[in-house]
């Protein structure tokens, strides 16, 4: 049976590493039931031991063998199938962190992945001897390896500033890219180029994903007292159809059909 575990990040890297999460099917000779990972504006380091994973990227299912990988932003709910005798140790990076690990253009990794050896050989070497059977030891080895890279740059500081604005922005007021320009001092075009290269999403995509994930968190903890209409209004959707379209674009299902058993969800929301 597939086990799902989480581990928190640690200071001083918790502003870059959001958390660690683990898919453990190492004791089973059966393929685990497919679960769907959800967009969350994060890029993920995946260290895989065993037979591997099958990730159902939009219109492009891909098998991922044993090794270490950087998985780019996903824009839709994405099926993950864990093969027999496999354990995947995942590092969830905040969206401004990945650019500190590689100079690659992250829009090329959106709904894709790359072997870490192809984009940062030194980092890949530090992962070779990791024993993912030891969760605490693996976490400490990863943090030690990442510590060499996670120092702020102009690009990472800009992106973090934009996401801080997303977090604090009222859902009842439409977010305009010009507000990001006023907030950061960068031009609109400059911000869009930075997001494309260093995040792999547009600012609008990132903000929409964050709103829909907030809705999902409400659905996870819902006691049934809040109607979908009220939920839509709470997160700034002025009409039900707009809310449904926005939700469906990311979740690939209707909000009325939400079933938390289908997804890989945080243990705490």
- Are 138 and 174 part of one and the same domain? no
Structure confidence at residue 223 (pLDDT): 64
Distance (Å) of CA 191 to CA 3, 12, 59, 118, 268: 40, 27, 29, 27, 32
Q: Compute the distance between CA of residue 200 and CA of residue 107 in angstroms, rounded to an integer.
A: 4
- Are 183 and 207 part of one and the same domain? no
- Are 77 and 126 part of one and the same domain? yes
Domain range for 137: 3-146
61 phi and psi angles, rounded to 5 deg = -65, 135
Structure confidence at residue 234 (pLDDT): 87
41 phi and psi angles, rounded to 5 deg = 70, 10
Q: Per residue of the chain (269 residues), what is the pLDDT tens digit? A: 899 999 999 999 999 999 999 999 999 999 999 999 999 999 999 999 999 999 998 778 899 999 999 999 999 999 999 999 999 999 999 999 999 999 999 999 999 999 999 999 999 999 998 988 899 999 999 999 999 999 999 999 999 999 999 999 887 777 888 999 999 999 999 999 999 999 999 999 999 999 999 999 989 887 666 788 888 888 888 888 999 999 999 999 999 999 999 999 988 65
Cβ partners under 8 Å of residue 126, min gap 6: 141, 144, 145
pTM above 0.85, yes or no: yes
Domain boundary among 146, 174, 193: 146
- Are 19 and 139 part of one and the same domain? yes
Residue 79 is encoded by which pair of tokens?
A: 């099926």
- Are 102 and 47 part of one and the same domain? yes
Q: Which of 118, 231, 236 is nearest to 175 (CA)?
A: 236
- Are 191 and 99 part of one and the same domain? no
Instruction: Give the chain's domain count.
Output: 3
60 phi and psi angles, rounded to 5 deg = -160, 70
Structure confidence at residue 225 (pLDDT): 67
- Are 216 and 253 part of one and the same domain? yes
Q: Which of 94, 119, 100, 117 is nearest to 109 (CA)?
A: 119
- Are 84 and 210 part of one and the same domain? no
- Are 192 and 213 part of one and the same domain? no
- Are 140 and 9 part of one and the same domain? yes
Q: Compute the distance between CA of residue 47 and CA of residue 128 in angstroms, rounded to an integer.
A: 9
Domain boundary among 146, 164, 192: 146
- Are 168 and 182 part of one and the same domain? yes
Q: What DSSP character marks residue 46?
A: E
Domain boundary among 146, 167, 184: 146
The CATH number given to whatever domain includes residue 235 is 1.10.10
Q: Compute the distance between CA of residue 120 and CA of residue 149 in angstroms, rounded to an integer.
A: 11
- Are 122 and 172 part of one and the same domain? no
The CATH number given to whatever domain includes residue 24 is 2.60.120.10
């Amino acid at each position: 049976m597939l086990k799902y575990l989480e581990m928190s990040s640690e200071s001083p890297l918790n502003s870059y590493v959001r958390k660690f999460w683990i898919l453990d099917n190492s004791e089973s000779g059966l393929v685990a039931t497919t679960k769907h990972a959800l967009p969350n504006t994060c890029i993920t380091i995946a260290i895989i031991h065993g037979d591997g994973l099958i990730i159902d990227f939009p219109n492009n299912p891909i098998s991922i063998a044993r090794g270490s990988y950087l998985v780019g932003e996903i824009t839709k709910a994405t099926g993950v199938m864990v093969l027999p005798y496999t354990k995947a140790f995942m590092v969830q990076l905040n969206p401004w962190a990945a650019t500190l690990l590689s100079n690659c253009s992250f829009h090329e990794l959106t709904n894709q992945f790359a072997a870490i050896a192809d984009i940062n050989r030194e980092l890949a070497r530090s992962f070779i001897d990791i024993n993912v059977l030891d969760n605490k030891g693996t976490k400490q080895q990863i943090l030690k390896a990442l510590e060499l890279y996670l120092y702020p740059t102009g690009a990472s500081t800009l992106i973090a500033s934009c996401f801080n604005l997303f977090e604090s922005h009222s859902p009842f007021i439409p977010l305009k890219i010009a507000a990001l320009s006023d907030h950061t001092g960068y031009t609109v075009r400059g911000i869009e180029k930075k997001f494309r290269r260093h995040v792999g999403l547009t600012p609008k995509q990132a903000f929409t994903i964050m709103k829909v994930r907030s809705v999902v968190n409400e659905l996870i903890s819902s006691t049934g007292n809040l109607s979908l209409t009220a939920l839509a209004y709470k997160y700034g959707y002025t009409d039900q159809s707009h809310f449904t379209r926005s939700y469906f674009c990311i979740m690939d299902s209707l909000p009325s059909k939400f079933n938390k058993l289908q997804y890989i969800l945080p243990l705490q929301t």
